[in-house]
């Protein structure tokens, strides 16, 4: 039977040998020992030691049960096992230092990732490790409005975070990281924690995540063992020891010599070693056997990713045009018409290097640009069939695709002036080099979460000794639209992944101009919704133009997309690093939030006593009357109108964003029962934001967030009073959260 990701690559040692293991048997990924004689032939019996300790000895057990944290005995034993590991191997005991000593306002913290719908494991740490603040992070955490969750605030040193760890940033002095059946990688969890010192990491993997939590930034675990006091089949615990731990060792390598399991608190724990193929023909099977390898290859072929999308669309270039339907010919004619539109000539210079992506054998878009006088027009075609193979012991797949790059010209022997033969003019293509695309992705044995389906694609260029082309723009002449035939057209994530891969064509050429001020992408498509934020506007500043076909009346949209400065860095980062998109998004959001907070504090200080607080219907009415009085005084004295400044705090109930750099926000005042919300007007010029900054802020706020706004009272087009905002900030960072201070409830 093929192995599954539910089965760990670590296997149990013999009981006699497991208890006497030393540092030489440390189970690191880079030096896996041969364990042909170490497998235990019989599974040890399950122990009730943790339940006995919880019921008979643990003083905080009644409180934990009273708070309704544990739904069953299995959850109790898992939390006890993780605490047992931290107590034995990680809990720092620095001599001469009080456990709750703080440095520069930072505290020591235990971050529990994947705690479930209740903060059960974090609460156990909060009760039993009083000098540390426990953070319980899980998007499935019970909402704060429930009666049970309201009582959790009574637990000292416990912070409950109902969010994904990828969208959280926690700043600590010393940190211990615990993953309880968490559906994230270790690198994702650690990227959310900014600590001066990581004392240790413990994970209790489950489901499809055994293979995803094998290494921490390339380092294998210092100790792996099964704890048979855990009442679950997923009882494997993996441990990474930091620089300072309960072992009293200042050196990580030296501390591994003390990772033994014969301590009294580690009863029922059996060491495991990484399974490796035997060189002596003993026939010890590895975690990934031949059957699993074949299964992985089948799944690899079934994987439909970016390279498959590009390959399938380019393969239509080899089709016979005479076999195509009349409808297809008409669509290609509309592309040719769009290619000669004045919007293109107004944005692209005649000498700009344009990479045209088309699917029709006639390449009408290429011919149209050449007729209009463009001298550097390029196109791509398939060089070889895409190849694929299994890597990383069957856990990941690698697909490779080669594309030839050609510079296009019109054959001088053809007659472009003859309209009847214009479609038959010969297109000359000269080879300039080739692109190599590589796509890495996780293989799916079972249904996996969306984070596991992420693929990373890189693009490199081989000039073959020829001068590198100067590519400044990609012209998508219906290429992506054609490629989505038969695929989900409502998958924004895959859509963005396709365009980010295409954008790497520009970055892959070494001679690409960095100071290009024109569009980096021009897209022709019948899909109007592609201009929205979840599609093209996610990474580009987009200008749209609708063009109607007289005979059909069906619009064809042209999107001129200007790459933001952050996109270039993001593309390069995706080539050299494996950090997820969510990590980058979180960091940008949190930095924006901190900048807004700083500007709000500065503006409030400048206004000082002139600021009115709108916290009731009466205060709101008074501010409107003061504004009318100020306008009347200005008319009498022929002087400039005096502004009435106010501050409002409330919950966002509605947001209307406009492409002109403005937005209207409806705010339900936090301390008022007034039914009519206060209208806020956000204008880029008034706020002093750049185009990109305003787009970031407008995307950061969302319905349900608590907002603080400072500005002056004005009138809208209907004569109703509103607050024109000069500075604003979220009372909390919305979808993303930052924790930098101790919270004692």
Confidence of residue 218 (pLDDT cuts 50, 70, 90): confident
Q: How far apart are CA 74 and CA 35, in angstroms?
A: 31
pLDDT in tens, 382-426: 988 888 887 776 677 889 999 999 999 987 765 555 554 555 567
Is residue 592 within 8 Å of residue 569, measured between CB atoms? no
**Predicted confidence (pLDDT) at residue 25 exceeds the cutoff of 70:** no
CA distance 269 to 228: 6
Per mean pLDDT, which of 193-202, 418-427, 716-725 is the most reliable?
Answer: 193-202
Average pLDDT on 449-465 reads 72
Judging by DSSP bridges, how do beta strands 645-658 and 133-137 pair with one another? unpaired
Q: Which of 150-154, 327-331, 387-391, 538-542 is most confident?
A: 150-154
- Report how far Cα 479 is from the mean position of its chain's Cα atoms: 27
pLDDT band at 39 (very low <50, low <70, confident <90, very high): very low
Q: Which two tokens stand for residue 252?
A: 């990580």
Say which range, 168-177, 235-244, 324-333, has the weakest mean pLDDT: 324-333
Which two tokens mark 722?
Answer: 């509103």
Q: Is 198 helix (H, G, I), strand (E, B) or coil?
A: strand
Distance, in Å, from the CA atom of 609 to the CA atom of 625, rounded to the nearest integer, reads 18
What pLDDT does 532 receive? 83
- In 3D space, the residue among 660, 447, 448, 473 whose CA is nearest the CA of residue 559 turns out to be 473
Q: What is the pLDDT of residue 128?
A: 93
pLDDT digits 0-9 by tens, 501-528 = 999 998 887 554 456 677 889 988 888 8
pLDDT band, very low/low/confident/very high, at 76 (cuts 50, 70, 90): very high
Say if residue 281's pLDDT is above 90. Answer: no
pLDDT at 187: 87
pLDDT at 254 over 70: no
Cα gap 386→582, rounded to integer Å: 29
Question: Helix, strand, or coil here: 52?
Answer: helix
- Alpha carbon of 19 to those of 221, 258, 287, 587: distances in Å? 18, 12, 23, 45
CB 242 within 8 A of CB 199: yes
Find residue 403's DSSP bridge partners.
382, 435
Mean of pLDDT values over 18-22: 44
Judged against a pLDDT cut of 80, whether residue 33 lies above it is answered with no
Lowest mean pLDDT among 105-114, 367-376, 407-416, 440-449: 440-449
Q: Which residues contact 106 (CB under 8 A, 6 or more apart)?
A: 171, 172, 173, 196, 740
Look at strands 662-669 and 678-683 and give their pairing: antiparallel
| Model confidence pLDDT, tens digit, residues 79-122 | 999 999 999 888 765 434 444 445 556 889 999 999 999 999 99
Pairing of strands 354-357, 473-477: parallel
Task: Name the percent of the chain lying above pLDDT 70.
Answer: 70
Cα torsion at 52, 55, 56, 61 (round to 10°)?
A: 130
Predicted pLDDT of residue 712: 93
What is the reported pLDDT for 637? 62
For residue 327, what pLDDT is reported? 58
Higher pLDDT, 345 or 198: 198
Phi and psi at residue 629, in whole multiples of 5°? -65, -40
Residue 738 dihedral angles phi and psi, to the nearest 5°: -125, 135
pLDDT per residue as tens digits for the range 238-253: 999 986 444 444 444 4
User: Bridge-partner residues for 542, per DSSP?
Assistant: 561
Lowest mean pLDDT of 425-439, 483-497, 553-567, name the range.
553-567
What's the maximum distance between 2 C-alpha atoms anywhere in the chain? Answer: 102
Q: Residue 373 has what pLDDT?
A: 87
Residue 698 predicted with pLDDT over 80: yes
Q: Is residue 184 within 8 Å of 114, Cβ to Cβ?
A: yes
For residue 182, give Cα distances in angstroms to 190, 217, 593. Answer: 13, 17, 28
Q: To the nearest whole number, what is the mean pLDDT of the chain?
A: 77
Residue 577 scores a pLDDT above 60: no
Note the pLDDT of residue 513: 45
Q: Mean pLDDT over residues 154-181, rounded?
A: 91
474/166 Cα distance (integer angstroms): 32
Q: How confident is the model at residue 364 (pLDDT cuts 50, 70, 90)?
A: confident
More confident call, 319 vs 623: 623
pLDDT of residue 314 exceeding 50, the answer is: yes
> Residue 113 has what pLDDT?
95
Which of 48-52, 131-135, 389-393, 684-688 is predicted least confidently? 389-393
Regarding beta strands 645-658 and 706-715, do their DSSP bridges make them parallel or antiparallel, or are they unpaired? antiparallel
State yes or no: pLDDT of 15 exceeds 70: no
Selection from 457, 458, 452 nearest residue 395 by Cα? 452
Beta bridge partners of 649: 708
Confidence of residue 274 (pLDDT cuts 50, 70, 90): confident
Residue 719 gets which letter from DSSP? S
Mean pLDDT on 313-333: 66
Least confident of 11-25, 125-139, 502-516: 11-25
What pLDDT, on the 0 to 100 scale, is given for residue 508? 85
Query: pLDDT-derived band of residue 465, with 50, 70 and 90 as boundaries?
Result: confident
Q: Encoding tokens for residue 301? A: 């072929």
């Amino acid at each position: 039977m093929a192995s599954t990701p539910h089965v760990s690559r670590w296997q149990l040692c013999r009981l006699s040998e497991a208890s006497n293991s030393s540092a030489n048997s440390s189970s690191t990924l880079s030096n896996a020992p041969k364990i042909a004689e170490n497998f235990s032939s019989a599974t040890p019996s399950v122990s009730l030691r943790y339940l006995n300790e919880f019921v008979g000895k643990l003083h905080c057990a009644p409180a934990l049960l009273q708070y309704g944290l544990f739904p069953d005995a299995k959850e109790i034993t898992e939390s006890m096992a993780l605490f047992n590991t931290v107590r034995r191997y990680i809990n720092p005991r620095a001599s001469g230092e009080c456990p709750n000593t703080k440095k520069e306002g930072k505290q020591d913290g235990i971050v529990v990732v994947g705690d479930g719908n209740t903060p059960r494991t974090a609460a156990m740490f909060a009760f039993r490790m009083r000098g540390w603040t426990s953070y319980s992070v899980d998007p499935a955490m019970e909402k704060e409005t429930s009666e049970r969750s309201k009582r959790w605030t009574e637990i000292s040193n416990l912070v409950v975070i109902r969010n994904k760890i990828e969208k959280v940033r926690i700043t600590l002095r010393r940190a211990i990281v615990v993953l309880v059946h968490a559906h994230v990688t270790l690198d994702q969890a650690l990227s959310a924690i900014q600590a001066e010192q990581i004392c240790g990491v413990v994970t209790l993997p489950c489901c499809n995540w055994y293979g995803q939590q094998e290494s921490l930034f390339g380092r294998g675990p210092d100790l792996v063992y099964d704890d048979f006091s855990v009442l679950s089949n997923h009882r494997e615990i993996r441990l990474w020891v930091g620089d300072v731990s309960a072992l009293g060792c200042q050196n990580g390598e030296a501390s591994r010599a003390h990772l033994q399991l014969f301590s009294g608190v580690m009863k029922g724990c059996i060491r495991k070693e990484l399974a490796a193929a035997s060189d002596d023909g003993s026939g010890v099977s590895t975690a990934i056997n031949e059957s699993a390898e074949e299964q992985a290859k089948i799944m690899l072929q079934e994987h439909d990713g970016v390279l498959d999308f590009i390959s399938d669309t380019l393969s239509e270039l080899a089709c016979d045009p005479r076999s195509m339907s009349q409808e297809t010919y008409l669509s290609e004619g509309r592309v040719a018409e769009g290619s000669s539109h004045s919007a293109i000539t107004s944005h692209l210079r005649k000498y700009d290097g344009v990479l045209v992506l088309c699917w029709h054998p006639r390449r009408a878009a290429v011919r149209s640009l050449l007729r209009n006088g463009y001298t550097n027009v390029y196109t791509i075609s398939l060089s070889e069939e895409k190849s694929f193979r299994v890597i990383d012991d069957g856990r990941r797949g690698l697909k490779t695709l080669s594309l030839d790059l050609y510079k296009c010209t019109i054959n001088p022997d053809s007659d472009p002036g003859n309209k009847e033969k214009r479609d038959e003019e010969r297109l000359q293509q000269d080879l300039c080099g080739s692109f190599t695309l590589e796509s890495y992705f996780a293989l799916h044995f079972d249904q996996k979460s969306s984070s596991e389906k992420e693929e990373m694609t890189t693009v490199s260029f081989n000039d073959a000794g020829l001068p590198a082309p100067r590519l400044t723009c990609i012209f998508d002449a219906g290429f992506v639209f054609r490629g989505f035939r038969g695929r989900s057209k409502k998958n924004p994530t895959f859509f963005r992944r396709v365009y980010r891969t295409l954008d790497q064509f520009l970055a892959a050429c070494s001679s690409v101009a960095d100071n290009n001020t024109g569009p980096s992408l021009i897209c022709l498509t019948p899909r109007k919704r592609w201009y929205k934020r979840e599609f093209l506007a996610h990474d580009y500043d987009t200008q749209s133009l609708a063009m109607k076909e007289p005979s059909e009346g069906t619009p064809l949209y042209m999107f001129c997309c200007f790459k933001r400065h952050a996109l270039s860095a993001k593309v390069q980062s995706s080539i050299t690093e494996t950090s997820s998109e969510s990590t980058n998004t979180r960091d940008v959001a949190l930095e924006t939030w901190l900048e807004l907070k700083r500007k709000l504090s500065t503006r409030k200080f400048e206004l000082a006593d002139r600021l009115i607080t709108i916290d009731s219907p009466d205060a709101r009415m008074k501010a409107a009357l003061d504004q009318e009085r100020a306008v009347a005084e200005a008319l009498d004295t022929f002087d400039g109108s005096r502004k009435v400044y106010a501050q409002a705090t409330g919950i966002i109930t509605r947001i209307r964003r406009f492409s002109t750099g403005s937005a209207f926000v409806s705010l339900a005042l936090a301390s008022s029962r007034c039914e009519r919300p206060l209208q806020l007007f956000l204008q880029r010029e008034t706020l002093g934001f750049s185009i990109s900054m305003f787009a970031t802020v407008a995307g950061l706020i969302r319905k349900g967030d608590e907002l603080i706004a400072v500005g002056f009272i004005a009138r809208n087009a209907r004569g109703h009073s509103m607050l024109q905002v000069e500075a604003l900030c979220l009372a909390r960072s919305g979808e993303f959260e930052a924790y930098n201070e101790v919270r004692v409830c």
